[in-house]
């Protein structure tokens, strides 16, 4: 079973969305976890604001205007207050305990201070700026480098109700992945959809045992070896709106996760386990 | 002296045959009414029927009908019969529906459809919406739509990305990075993958600073250009998607709407409506998609969405005000409760989250809508009793359209935003019924009335009672009995009903046209026949019904008679008294009238011609009564004091009368009392007098003669009939006599008498038992006659007055 005790909703200028707040709180409610809201202020940004040549182009003033540090900090403060209010409202609605912190530092460094085994990071992966869908490579890259951490990556304006569980025959933590997937899905009559990659024979009996133990109906898809494109196709056909997979999935090796986000733009829940949890 | 006064004596009492026009049942020519053919029409209403037929037939503005006459004449049933007959020959009127006004939702549009088509269109629209709820989402979920949509999105994305990446690439080449800022984006010079600090920037050579500055300015310009273009691109994308949505929707709904349109090809109104619906569907197809999406929000939001969804599709509904699909002919509507809302319709509201809201589906029709294209029958009294119903009815007829307005709207009290339904053209005929007083009042005081109700159907109160009339009346009785499911009546019973019909109108030559009263009598007679086990209604059953009606209503009458018997109310029926006479009055209580004697006394004395009508002095006498009294003065002065002052003072009073007195029917009695007082001739108290008198001394007819005679007869019978008692009536009332059997029996036995007189002299002669007297060739009344005594008394009064007025005699030797 999952040992996630805390959902860490990490937000900064780049990764911020009211829908993500809702998703994080809903997930915490389902997992019986608390929510910690983090608003990360990037020191690079503050440094930039001190430059005499710093200019900002905003949707309200496309002509651009000079930005000093003081004004930038005020704007950041306003955003953090807004984020905190959104979190508290959502947490109140779901009856989830929440806390909120504003931290200053590189987002990657902030995450390294968290407890990897019990914390689940929730991040927005895309954000529009001036109407442009701009990826946020700097902050996200720093996180994606730490895939040994459990995290939910949510593209903006996406929903996550029916997960597609992706298991590899070599996975060490399949049961934990299945348990989390089971707990986060919307209650319904549809069976849980599980895609098994790799060696079918190695996983079949174990899956059967888990299904019997949990008294869950499962729709199992055996796909052998799959690439990201095929995975996207299977997901579209399955009617599922996001993935749940273990951090040790071969699909995530290298820049797999980053490529998936660029390619499919659907939510991904990556689960990391500190102990072997073989089915 | 008037010539008529010379024809006075002798005066014989009336024979029994003159006291009641009996109906001979043997002349009717049938055994029971079962032998009679039902009467197709109401007899004796030729004028009213003609007017109704004319009013229903004429197709001109303002020729609405007012049927006037008292209640119970059968106006309503006759109006309905003729109206329904006329309506069946006419086509069913148009149906009217209210539909959503897509441009101005608060002003629902009226849609005219031929009879039977409203329900069809309503059903077609409901089915269309149901199908659209499936068809439109299906079209938008199709692969074709998704592909085209993706292409549009991709196009924008491509534009954005290529522009943005060009800037990013250029920036990167110059060592500058794009960074997010709280309000948008900025450009930052980089050093070792870090934003350069201000200190490091200042340490840079001036040339390098200028280069960075210039590069940033250039990139900034490009960024601005892209930022300014983004909304435009987005707008273009939305336009393309909108256009795509329109195309997809048009394609998806096209065949459905074509199928709906097909039957309405000849109905331009319906086609125009469907055209507007199509445009609205194309513009708002998204609502059909939203309805399918499951809510992911709070329960409150879900509820809101449910209401929103419900309202969204309501706007394609047809609010059919009147469904005439089952009508045969034009509509005939009778509104029993013609309140403003029941006439012109109303707008209902529903409570929603604590607010009252409405829309065109909550418009409810009124009687004018239901009767449109046909006939509306209303009771005018009920219309007038309802606030603003009369004014709005007139307004609708004047304007030729019905507009839904509440009392609040009429008074201007309502400022809330509400619906303003489009007025509906009105083509109908209104038939009002009411009593004559209301008709004449409306004629006099409502300037619009005669413009809008040009046809008066004046119903007769009574029918001619000729032998032929009696036979027709018998058929009417038979028809009513048959219609009501009553027993047939034997001929004698019919004869009794005819006699009672005459009594109801107090005219031996006419019978009552009050069908409702007649029906009540027949129903009651049928009841008594049933009680007696009679298979047909007999004359005794009719008589019992009449007697029981009188008995049930006669409590007050009996109490008054009792008071007379006990001497509380002082009425003498024997002996003779100077200046005192029994007058007769009629009391009407609760639809029942009865007569009762009242003692009238007159006192005379020396005076200057004053007539003190005590009733008038204390404001208990009405104007007609006062007029009657003043006429007496005219008569007295002309006859007895033509050449000298009328030097008397008279006071007249209705003794023991504590309520108002109206009418001049006691003026003959009052004159007799005054003359008795002047002549000091006692009046027989066994005789009562009724009748009015003019300045010539002629007796004039009065109303309620039967009740008055019977009233005095009852009092005399209580005191004991002695053969000297009776009633004096004006000769002109002879034809009104329809007296009860008890009176006829007493007259037949010589115990009671009825005299008909032409003038006051005849009445006085009977009352005093002495000739009144005529003026001889010398201009004087016969010696010792009543008139001579009156004249002598008046002459004496004049002399006395002159003596009083003369200067005092000067004593002899006074020196003056």
Element (H, E) at B610: strand B610-613
Interstrand relation of A163-168 and A242-246 (parallel, antiparallel or unpaired): parallel
Cβ–Cβ gap B181/A75 under 8 Å? yes
DSSP string of B779-811, one letter each residue: S-BPTT-HHHHHHHHHHHHHHHHHHHHSPPPPP
In a 10 Å sphere around its CB, with 0-12 CB exposed, 13-18 middle and 19+ buried, how is residue B552 labelled?
exposed
In a 10 Å sphere around its CB, with 0-12 CB exposed, 13-18 middle and 19+ buried, how is residue B476 labelled?
buried
Residues 9-68, chain A: which have Cβ within 8 Å of B?
Answer: 13-14, 44-45, 47-48, 50-60, 62-64, 67
pLDDT at A277: 41
Q: Please tell me if residue A81 touches chain B, with a CB cutoff of 8 Å.
A: no
Give yes or no for a contact between B98 and B423, defined as CB atoms under 8 angstroms apart.
no
Nearest to B179 among A48, A64, A78 (CB): A48
Nearest to B296 among A44, A58, A159 (CB): A159
How close does chain B come to A132, measured CA to CA in Å?
Answer: 6
Would you state the structure tokens that stand for residue B57, as one six-digit string? Answer: 């037939």
How close does chain A come to B177, measured CA to CA in Å?
Answer: 11
Q: Is the dihedral of CA A184, A186, A187, A193 positive or negative?
A: negative
A50 contacts in B (CB within 8 Å)? 197-198
C-alpha–C-alpha distance, residues B351 and B541, integer Å: 61
Coil, helix or strand for B449? helix
**How many Cβ atoms from other residues are within 10 Å of residue B40's Cβ?**
9
User: ipTM, 2 decimals?
Assistant: 0.74
Residues 277-316, chain B: which have Cβ within 8 Å of A?
Answer: 296, 298
Task: Pick the residue from chain B with its C-alpha nearest to A14.
Answer: B180
Give yes or no for a contact between B160 and A131, defined as CB atoms under 8 angstroms apart.
yes
Return the residue in A17, A19, A56 with the most chain B beta carbons within 10 A, the one to mutate for interface testing: A56
Would you state the structure tokens that stand for residue B750, as one six-digit string? Answer: 């010589």
A72 contacts in B (CB within 8 Å)? 181-182
Would you state the structure tokens that stand for residue A238, as one six-digit string? Answer: 């399955």
Length of chain B: 816
Q: Please tell me if residue A221 touches chain B, with a CB cutoff of 8 Å.
A: no
pLDDT at A129: 61
Query: In this prediction, what percent of chain A has a pLDDT beyond 90?
Result: 15
B187 contacts in A (CB within 8 Å)? 55
In a 10 Å sphere around its CB, with 0-12 CB exposed, 13-18 middle and 19+ buried, how is residue A242 labelled?
buried
Task: Pick the residue from chain B with its C-alpha nearest to A93.
Answer: B298
**How many Cβ atoms from other residues are within 10 Å of residue A274's Cβ?**
11
CA dihedral B480, B481, B482, B488 (to 10 degrees): -140
Task: Pick the residue from chain B with its C-alpha nearest to A137.
Answer: B179
Q: Please tell me if residue A142 touches chain B, with a CB cutoff of 8 Å.
A: no
How close does chain B come to A204, measured CA to CA in Å?
Answer: 35
DSSP state of B578: E
Return the residue in A47, A158, A186, A237 with the most chain B beta carbons within 10 A, the one to mutate for interface testing: A47
How close does chain B come to A180, measured CA to CA in Å?
Answer: 21
Nearest to A44 among B194, B201, B230 (CB): B194
Task: Pick the residue from chain B with its C-alpha nearest to A50.
Answer: B198
- Known catalytic membership, residue B665: yes
A58 contacts in B (CB within 8 Å)? 181, 183-184
pLDDT at A88: 95
Tens-digit pLDDT profile for residues A142-181: 666 655 678 888 887 777 888 899 988 777 778 888 888 8
Residues 222-261, chain B: which have Cβ within 8 Å of A?
Answer: 223-224, 226-228, 230-231, 233-234
The partner residues of B754 in beta bridges, in order of sequence, read: B727
How close does chain B come to A159, measured CA to CA in Å?
Answer: 10
B196 contacts in A (CB within 8 Å)? 47, 51
∠ at Cα B601 (B597, B606), nearest 5°? 165
The partner residues of B594 in beta bridges, in order of sequence, read: B587
A64 contacts in B (CB within 8 Å)? 220, 223-224
pLDDT at A131: 55
Consecutive 10-residue averages of pLDDT for chain B (816 residues): 43 92 93 90 88 93 94 88 93 94 93 95 95 90 88 86 84 85 83 83 88 88 83 89 92 93 94 95 84 46 49 86 91 96 93 83 96 96 95 95 87 79 95 96 96 96 93 93 94 96 95 92 96 96 95 93 94 95 92 92 90 82 84 89 86 87 90 95 96 95 96 96 96 96 96 96 94 88 91 91 75 53
Give yes or no for a contact between B531 and B540, defined as CB atoms under 8 angstroms apart.
no
Element (H, E) at B376: strand B375-379
How close does chain B come to A47, measured CA to CA in Å?
Answer: 6
C-alpha–C-alpha distance, residues A163 and B778, integer Å: 140
Cβ–Cβ gap A51/B201 under 8 Å? yes
Task: Pick the residue from chain B with its C-alpha nearest to A12.
Answer: B182
Q: Please tell me if residue A186 touches chain B, with a CB cutoff of 8 Å.
A: no
Catalytic residue selected from B593, B665, B676, B785: B665
Would you state the structure tokens that stand for residue B474, as one six-digit string? Answer: 């018998």
A131 contacts in B (CB within 8 Å)? 160, 227, 230-231, 233-234
Task: Pick the residue from chain A with its C-alpha nearest to B194.
Answer: A44
Give yes or no for a contact between A23 and A152, defined as CB atoms under 8 angstroms apart.
yes
Task: Pick the residue from chain B with its C-alpha nearest to A43.
Answer: B195
Nearest to B234 among A62, A76, A131 (CB): A131
Cβ–Cβ gap A13/B188 under 8 Å? no
pLDDT at B303: 47
Preceding omega of B10 cis (within 30 degrees of 0):
yes
Cβ–Cβ gap B182/A75 under 8 Å? yes
Would you state the structure tokens that stand for residue A93, as one six-digit string? Answer: 């609605």
Q: Please tell me if residue A132 touches chain B, with a CB cutoff of 8 Å.
A: yes
Nearest Cα neighbor of B331 from B363, B365, B364, B368 is B368
Contacts of A123 (CB under 8 A, 6+ apart): A10, A15, A20, A140, A143, A151, A152, A153, A154
Nearest to B227 among A51, A67, A130 (CB): A130
C-alpha–C-alpha distance, residues B799 and B803, integer Å: 6
Q: Please tell me if residue B218 touches chain A, with a CB cutoff of 8 Å.
A: no
pLDDT at B296: 43
Catalytic residue selected from B708, B731, B753, B785: B708
Cβ–Cβ gap B197/A131 under 8 Å? no
C-alpha–C-alpha distance, residues A170 and A178, integer Å: 15
Interstrand relation of B687-689 and B682-684 (parallel, antiparallel or unpaired): unpaired
Task: Pick the residue from chain B with its C-alpha nearest to A186.
Answer: B296
The helix, strand and coil proportions of chain B, stated in percent and rounded to the nearest 5, come to 50, 20, 30
Task: Pick the residue from chain B with its C-alpha nearest to A47.
Answer: B197
HSE-CB of B177 using CA atoms within 13 angstroms: 16
Q: Is the pLDDT score of A137 beyond 70?
A: no
Element (H, E) at B124: helix B117-141
Would you state the structure tokens that stand for residue A114, as one six-digit string? Answer: 């968290």
Nearest to B179 among A45, A59, A62 (CB): A45
Cβ–Cβ gap A62/B228 under 8 Å? yes
How many A-B residue pairs are in contact by the CB < 8 A criterion? Answer: 109
Nearest Cα neighbor of B692 from B728, B668, B727 is B668
Nearest Cα neighbor of B169 from B219, B230, B210, B209 is B219
* Chain position carrying tokens 């071969």: A250
Give yes or no for a contact between A169 and A195, defined as CB atoms under 8 angstroms apart.
no
DSSP string of B228-292, one letter each residue: HHHHHHHHHHHHHHHHHHHHHHHHHHHHHHHHHHGGGTT-HHHHHHHHHHHHHHHHTTHHHHHHH
Return the residue in B168, B181, B197, B225 with the most chain A beta carbons within 10 A, the one to mutate for interface testing: B181
∠ at Cα A272 (A270, A275), nearest 5°? 160
How close does chain B come to A5, measured CA to CA in Å?
Answer: 26
């Amino acid at each position: 079973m999952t040992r996630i005790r805390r959902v860490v909703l990490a937000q900064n200028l780049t990764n911020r969305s009211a829908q993500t707040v809702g998703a994080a709180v809903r997930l915490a409610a389902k997992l019986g976890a608390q929510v910690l809201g983090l608003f990360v202020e990037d020191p690079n940004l503050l440094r930039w604001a001190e430059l005499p040549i710093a200019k900002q182009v905003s949707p309200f003033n496309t002509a651009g205007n000079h930005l000093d540090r003081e004004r930038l900090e005020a704007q950041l403060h306003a955003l953090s207050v807004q984020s905190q209010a959104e979190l508290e409202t959502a947490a109140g609605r779901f009856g989830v305990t929440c806390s909120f912190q504003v931290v200053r530092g590189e987002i990657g460094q902030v995450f390294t201070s968290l407890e990897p085994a019990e914390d689940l990071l929730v991040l927005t992966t895309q954000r529009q700026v001036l109407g442009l869908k701009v990826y946020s490579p700097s902050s996200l890259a720093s996180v994606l480098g730490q895939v040994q951490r459990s995290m939910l990556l949510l593209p903006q304006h996406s929903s996550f109700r029916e997960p597609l569980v992706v298991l590899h025959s070599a996975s060490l933590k399949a049961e934990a992945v299945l348990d989390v997937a089971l707990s986060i899905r919307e209650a319904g009559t549809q069976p849980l959809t599980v895609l098994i990659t790799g060696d079918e024979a190695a996983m079949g009996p174990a899956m059967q045992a888990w299904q019997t133990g949990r008294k869950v109906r499962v729709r199992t898809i055996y796909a052998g070896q799959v690439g990201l494109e095929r995975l996207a196709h299977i997901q579209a056909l399955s009617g599922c709106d996001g993935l749940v997979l273990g951090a040790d999935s071969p699909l995530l090796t290298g820049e797999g996760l980053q490529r998936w986000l660029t390619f499919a733009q659907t939510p991904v829940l990556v689960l990391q386990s500190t102990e072997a949890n073989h089915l | 002296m008037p010539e008529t006064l010379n024809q006075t004596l002798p005066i014989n009492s009336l024979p029994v045959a003159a006291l009641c026009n009996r109906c001979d049942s043997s002349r009717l020519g049938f055994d029971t009414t079962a032998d009679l053919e039902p009467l197709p029409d109401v007899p004796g209403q030729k004028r009213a029927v003609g007017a109704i037929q004319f009013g229903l037939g004429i197709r001109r503005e303002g020729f609405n009908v007012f049927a006037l006459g008292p209640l119970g004449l059968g106006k309503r049933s006759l109006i309905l019969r003729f109206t329904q007959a006329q309506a069946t020959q006419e086509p069913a009127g148009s149906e009217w529906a209210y539909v959503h006004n897509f441009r101005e939702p608060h002003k629902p549009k009226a849609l005219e459809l031929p009879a039977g088509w409203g329900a069809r269109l309503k059903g077609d629209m409901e089915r269309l919406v149901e199908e659209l709820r499936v068809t439109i989402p299906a079209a938008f979920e199709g692969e074709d739509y998704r592909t085209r949509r993706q292409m549009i999105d991709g196009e924008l994305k491509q534009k954005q990305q290529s522009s943005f990446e060009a800037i990013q690439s250029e920036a990167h080449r110059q060592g500058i990075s794009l960074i997010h800022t709280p309000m948008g984006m900025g450009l930052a010079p980089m050093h070792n993958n870090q934003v350069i600090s201000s200190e490091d920037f200042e340490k840079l050579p001036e040339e390098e600073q200028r280069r960075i500055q210039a590069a940033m300015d250039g990139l900034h310009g490009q960024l601005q250009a892209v930022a300014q273009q983004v909304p435009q691109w987005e707008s273009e994308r939305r336009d393309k998607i909108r256009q795509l949505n329109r195309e997809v929707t048009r394609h998806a709904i096209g065949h459905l709407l074509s199928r709906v349109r097909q039957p309405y090809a000849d109905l331009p109104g319906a086609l125009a409506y469907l055209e507007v619906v199509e445009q609205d569907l194309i513009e708002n197809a998204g609502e059909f998609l939203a309805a399918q999406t499951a809510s992911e929000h709070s329960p409150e939001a879900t509820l809101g969405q449910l209401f929103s969804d419900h309202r969204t599709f309501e706007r394609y509904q047809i609010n059919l005000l009147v469904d005439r699909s089952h009508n045969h002919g034009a509509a005939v509507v009778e509104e029993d409760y013609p309140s403003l809302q029941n006439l012109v319709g109303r707008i209902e509201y529903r409570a929603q989250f604590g607010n009252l809201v409405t829309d065109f589906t909550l418009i409810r029709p009124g009687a004018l809508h239901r009767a449109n294209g046909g006939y509306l029958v209303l009771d005018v009294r009920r219309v007038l009793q309802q606030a603003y119903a009369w004014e709005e009815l007139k307004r609708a007829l004047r304007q030729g359209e019905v507009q839904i307005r509440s009392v609040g709207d009429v008074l201007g009290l309502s400022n809330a935003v509400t619906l303003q339904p489009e007025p509906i053209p009105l083509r109908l005929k209104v038939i009002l019924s009411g009593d004559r007083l209301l008709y004449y009042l409306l004629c006099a005081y409502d300037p619009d009335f005669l413009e809008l109700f040009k046809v008066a159907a004046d119903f007769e109160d009574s029918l001619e009672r000729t032998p032929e009339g009696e036979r027709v009346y018998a058929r009417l009785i038979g028809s009513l009995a048959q219609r009501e499911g009553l027993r047939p009546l034997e001929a004698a019973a019919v004869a009794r009903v005819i006699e009672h019909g005459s009594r109801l109108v107090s005219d031996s030559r006419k019978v009552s046209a009050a069908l409702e009263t007649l029906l009540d009598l027949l129903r009651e007679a049928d009841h008594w026949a049933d009680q007696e086990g009679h298979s047909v209604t007999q004359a005794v059953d009719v008589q019992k019904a009449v007697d029981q009606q009188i008995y049930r209503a006669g409590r007050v009458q009996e109490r008054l008679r009792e008071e007379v018997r006990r001497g509380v109310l002082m009425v003498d029926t024997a002996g003779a008294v100077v200046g005192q006479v029994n007058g007769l009055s009629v009391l009407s209580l609760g639809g029942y009238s009865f007569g009762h004697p009242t003692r009238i006394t007159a006192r005379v004395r020396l005076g200057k011609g004053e007539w003190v009508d005590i009733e008038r002095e204390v404001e208990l006498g009405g104007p007609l009564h006062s007029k009657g009294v003043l006429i007496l003065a005219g008569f007295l002065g002309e006859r007895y004091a033509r050449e000298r002052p009328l030097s008397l003072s008279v006071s007249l009073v209705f003794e023991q009368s504590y309520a108002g007195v109206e009418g001049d029917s006691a003026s003959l009695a009052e004159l007799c009392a005054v003359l008795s007082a002047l002549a000091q001739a006692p009046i027989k108290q066994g005789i009562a007098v009724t009748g009015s008198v003019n300045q010539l001394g002629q007796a004039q007819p009065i109303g309620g003669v039967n009740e008055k005679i019977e009233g005095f007869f009852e009092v005399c019978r209580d005191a004991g009939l002695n053969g000297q008692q009776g009633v004096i009536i004006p000769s002109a009332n002879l034809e009104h006599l329809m007296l009860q059997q008890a009176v006829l029996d007493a007259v037949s036995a010589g115990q009671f008498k009825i005299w008909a007189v032409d003038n006051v002299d005849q009445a006085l002669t009977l009352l005093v038992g002495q000739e009144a007297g005529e003026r001889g060739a010398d201009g004087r009344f016969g010696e010792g006659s009543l008139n001579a005594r009156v004249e002598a008394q008046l002459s004496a009064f004049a002399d006395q007055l002159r003596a009083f007025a003369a200067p005092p005699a000067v004593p002899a030797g006074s020196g003056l």
